[in-house]
Each structure stands twice: as C-alpha cells, then as structure tokens.
Homo-oligomer: A and B are copies of this chain.
Amino acid sequence: MNFYTYSIRTQAEEFRNITPQVREAVTKSGVKEGICVIFCPHTTAGITINENADPDVQHDLALGLAHAYPELPGFQHFEGNSTAHLKSTTAGASMTVIVHDGHLVLGRWQHVYFCEFDGPRARTFYVKVLEG
C-alpha cells in the first residue's frame, strides 16, 4: 500500500529536513511515476518545502512567522500555544510532490521540512506514494 510512518524528536522550534526519509519511502515503494503525499498528524507542526542551501533561511522563516503571528492578549486557548496553531495552518498539514522516473521531483534548492512550532516533542509523519 506504499504507506510509511516515520518518527522524529524535535527541538523547541525547528525546520527538520526530512527529504532523506521521503526519498527512502519513494524508493521502497518502487513507484516510478506518480505522486507522493507527506502528512503531519499534529496541529502545532506542519510540512513545507523551502531552501536547503543556506540554513539561515530556516532561521529567517521562524523569525518572520513569529513576527506575523505574535502572542495576542485576546488569545483564549488554555494551552497558550495559539501561535503554533496559526503557523501550522499557514505551512499546512500536507505537501504533495510529483514522482518521476523513480525520483522525487524537487527543485535544485528545495528540500522537504517538518516544521516544529511547539517542541520539543516526539513527532510522527506519514509518507504515501501513489502510482499513476
């Protein structure tokens, strides 16, 4: 069924490069042409694709998102992590990538990231590969 589960331990806030796991799933599936769905089952985390060359990009992504979504006095959620829920909806819970010739089709500077917005935690993500 080409459905794979991965576990990671995250830091407080980080963009974890999970491209190796996603590539491994595609290889294991044996699918040559199709798509690959990466899914995050957590509501204070997400999946994004962004630059892998300069790690400062990840620093700046965290800084820019913190600026866009500051703590607000009107927040009511008792856990106090509403900004993480907002960042989760902004990055999104899933990402779909094309598979061609047995490989993920990513741009030269693109990697897939698990976005932790409320760590450190034990986290899981899923990879599903579909032929077609």
Contact = CB atoms under 8 A, between A and B. Distances in A.
Nearest to A132: B130
A63 B82 CA distance: 10
A109 B43 contact: yes
A3 B33 CA distance: 9
A94 B49 CA distance: 9
A76 interface: yes
Given A59-B76, A60-B86, A85-B50, A41 B107 contact: yes
20 contacts: A34-B130, A35-B130, A40-B107, A41-B107, A41-B108, A42-B110, A48-B93, A49-B93, A51-B85, A54-B77, A57-B82, A60-B77, A60-B85, A61-B85, A63-B82, A94-B96, A94-B97, A98-B126, A130-B130, A132-B132
Per assembly, the copies of the chain total: 3
Interface of A: 1-3, 33-35, 37, 39-43, 48-51, 54, 56-57, 59-61, 63-65, 67-70, 72, 74-79, 82-83, 85-86, 88-98, 100, 105-110, 124, 126, 128, 130-132
